Structure 1
Amino acid sequence: MENEFSVTLQRVGGWIKLAGESRIRDLLYAYDDLHRGHSYPWVALAPTRPQKSLIPSCLVRLLLVVNSFASSVNARNTVVVHRLLSQNHEVEIVETNRRGHAIRFAQDAARRGLDAVVAFGGDGTLNEVATGLAGTTTALAVLPGGSTNVFARTIGVANDPVVATNGLLAGLQEDRIEPIGLGRVNGRFFCFHVGIGFDAAVVAHVERHASLKRWLGHPLFIWSSAMTWARGYDRSRSQFAIDDLSTGQRLPGLFTVVLNTGPYTYLGNRPLDLAPDARLQRGLTAVTFSSLRLPTMGAALMSAVRGRSVETVGDVTEWSPANHLHISAADDDIRIPFQVDGDYLGDTETLDIDYVEDAVRLVWPGSASEVDL
């Protein structure tokens, strides 16, 4: 029954997604010069009434990386965002079309000495841009385009892309660019968390129905969580062991989240905060579940919704800093699934996690006047 339902939903979602993609390409790529930051009269979707302009103290060279597959990205807000950024800055625009594409775009921008790369997509797009920029002087800027936008909301970015663009422009004008630390797992950077075990299995289930994310949003995650808990993940035994290389502590686990900042995610407008003390520039915080029994999961969910540490729940352990971790499969027949900033990266036998100080320069939002679509 589940398979038939999934196939039908995937077909419908795929048809709708293809229609949206062609509309974006019609608007963004009608003129090749758009990639060089030029504006054209056909950009008529932006507001026409007079607006307060944020005049920068100097010209900034930007690369706008757009993921048109992201849930909240569409042709209209992409054109408006590009126009706003191009009013006073030199802007190039590129569109991703496969996994890892944004990493390459960001690396190229850093090699060419651009001032900042703007990630316009979901948390996965942001992660790729941050990974490509880590260790360089090119700054990272964030615009919300996904279904949840965890990191963007964490740093105070408005959830509307156009309002967020004005905040970004204000941040550039006010020179609100500061380095932040990032987590790193098996060489891959993460901005807000890495999920290991059950959490990653849920994300894998969601990605198997990726064409539905734009239209179902959070209900898809709830459905995937229920399906994974019921029959998609082995809850009968520990799946991995976590070794804290700094303290020598060793814990068995079924589900672990290592946070660079909180919250873990959002349920609508409500933050789901597994570790309220996890914040940027404080190092990593680890939360490990040794049981996935319904009472444990239910109590942890209620604590997280209320903004209380889940450490008070039985079978859950929190510790910080957790800046040097080694995670290994509990048995030879077990592979450990893991996800980074909401993107499933597969499964493995071991994971090495560390914290990198001042890994990337981040553009924080400044004060901005609101602009309506």
Structure 2
Amino acid sequence: MASPHADPLERLGEQFALTTPTERKRLLVITNPYATTVSDRLKKLVVYALGGRYDVESVDTQRRNHATELCREAAAEGYDAVVAFGGDGTVNECANGLVGSPTPLTCLPGGATNVLCKMLGIPGDIVDATEHLLMLGDRWHVDRVDLAQVNDRYFTFSAGLGVDAAVVKEVDARPHLKHRHGPWYFMYRAVHVAVRDYLWRPPRFEVTSGDTTVEGMTAIVQNGDPFTYFGNHPLHVAENVSLESGTIAGVVLRRARATDVPTIAYRLLVPRTRMVDHKHIEGLPPGDEIVMRSPVPIPLEVDGDYIGDVDHAVFRVIPGGLRVVR
């Protein structure tokens, strides 16, 4: 029996090991050791706790896109599920490796925002999330959620072009500050990038969704709602889209001056306000394809990770494209 002074994760593992045994599913835990809240000790405790109910193997990512390779191998080897233990970027890489396979994905919160984790109803606290996953052993059920794609990259909840992606690019270049200051560092870089690069002579591009074509300087495309979180506060941008809607939707920022920054931030942060009501923001109706064309390459991000500059982007939805356990 665990000591009353044992770590809560140790107690969870022993508690579930003593309950009535069920069929033991085989899990692969893929951990990003550099994620915001992940440590080697925490990973070991999580794996120990999960071992009370599952047959668990664990592996750390070593490089960019390593999780995608590991997930393809896990699907080929017949694991019952992959657990992404890291931030949104780790979850994105795992989804890219599991799309089209019978192996489902689940996740544990290890990053700063953990957007898909929260969208799937998984608790944001690691102890609560681990207990949630342990309890799934008795009511194992695989769901399907939509997955989206831009060019040759899949994403789970959102993608951005222009200011949004430029901010992500700069934040990713300073991971130590991202880890230390979290969403406040994003906010600081957003103001800096907007003032420096986008208020005076921003790059402009065209976005087409169905019969709607809009010229703008920034676009957000979503596969679900919310767009992201500021701490535990959801930030809503696009409308009428969810992980089960079978569509993608978005918004385009047509232009912005210095005086527009406070009003845009207000609509982003204050509940019961709508981003699409801003005079310089155009909502893109839900559909199955959105196309961007630009005369010059502009930054692109997916699920909070910068992936490069592009002058042409085709966004599509893959209804039910990802299996999940939640």
Contact 2:9 2:49 in 1 (8 A): no
Any conservation in 2 of the 1:272–1:307 contact (CA below 8 Å)? no
Q: Which residue pairs with 2:206 in the alignment?
A: 241
1:179 matched to 2:144? The reply is: yes
CA contact under 8 A between 1:198 and 1:233: conserved in structure 2?
yes
Q: Find 1:291's aligned residue among 255, 258, 271.
A: 255
Deviation per residue, 1:334-355 (Å, 9 max, x gap): 2121000000001011111100
**Alpha-carbon distance in 2 for matches of 1:239, 1:267:** 28
Please give the residue correspondences for 1:205-244 in structure 2 after superposition, counting only pairs within 5 Å.
Answer: 205-233=170-198, 235-244=200-209
Cα distance between partner residues in 2 of 1:148 and 1:68: 16
Instruction: From the superposition, tell whether residues 303 and 56 of structure 1 become closer, same or farther in structure 2 (CA, over 3 Å).
Output: farther
Give the whole-Å Cα distance in 2 for the aligned partners of 1:352 and 1:138: 27
> What is the deviation of 1:194?
0.4
Query: 1:262 aligned to 2:225?
Result: yes
List alignment gaps of at least 5 residues for structure 2: 1-5
Does 2:316 align with 1:354?
yes
Aligned to 2:3: none
Q: Distance in 2 between matches of 1:108 and 1:178?
A: 21
Residue 134 (str. 1) matches residue 96 (str. 2): no
Q: Is the 8 A contact 2:80 2:104 kept in 1?
A: yes
CA root-mean-square deviation: 1.9
User: After the TM superposition, which residues 1-373 of structure 1 pair with which residues of structure 2 at under 5 Å, given as runs?
Assistant: 52-53=15-16, 57-233=22-198, 235-244=200-209, 247-282=210-245, 283-305=247-269, 306-329=271-294, 331=295, 334-364=296-326
Q: TM-score, normalised to structure 1's length?
A: 0.80
* Aligned 8 A contact 1:158 1:164 in 2: yes
Q: Any conservation in 2 of the 1:261–1:280 contact (CA below 8 Å)?
A: yes
Query: Partner letter of residue 220 of structure 2?
Result: V
* Distance (whole Å) between structure 2 residues aligned to residue 296 and residue 311 of structure 1: 14
Per the alignment, in what secondary structure is the counterpart of residue 287 of structure 1?
A: strand
CA-CA distance at 1:143 after TM superposition: 0.5
Distance 1:55 1:103 in 2: 35
Q: Compared with structure 1, are the counterparts of its residues 263 and 172 closer, same or farther at alpha carbon in structure 2 (3 Å cutoff)?
A: same
The whole-number CA distance in structure 2 between the counterparts of 1:242 and 1:47 is: 48
Query: AA paired with 2:250?
Result: A
Paired amino acid for 1:253: G
Q: Find the aligned partners of 1:132 and 1:103 in 2 and give their Cα distance.
A: 4
Structure 1, unaligned runs of 5 or more? 1-43, 365-373
1:42-93 CA-to-partner distances (Å, cap 9, x unmatched) read: xx75656586426563111111000010001112321111011112211111
Shift of 1:320: 2.7
1:89-113 CA deviation, whole Å, 9 max, x = no partner? 1111110121100000001000111
Deviation (angstroms), 1:236: 2.3
Identity of aligned residues (%): 33
1:176 is displaced (CA, Å) by: 3.1
Provide the residue aligned with 1:25 in structure 2: none
Task: Tell me the TM-score normalized by structure 2.
Answer: 0.91
Q: Match for 2:257: what amino acid?
A: R
- Which residue identity does 1:168 align to in structure 2? L
Moved over 3 A (4+): 44-52, 54-57, 232-235, 294-297
Q: Deviations 1:122-165 (Å, cap 9, x if unpaired)?
A: 00000000110000000101111001111111222111122101
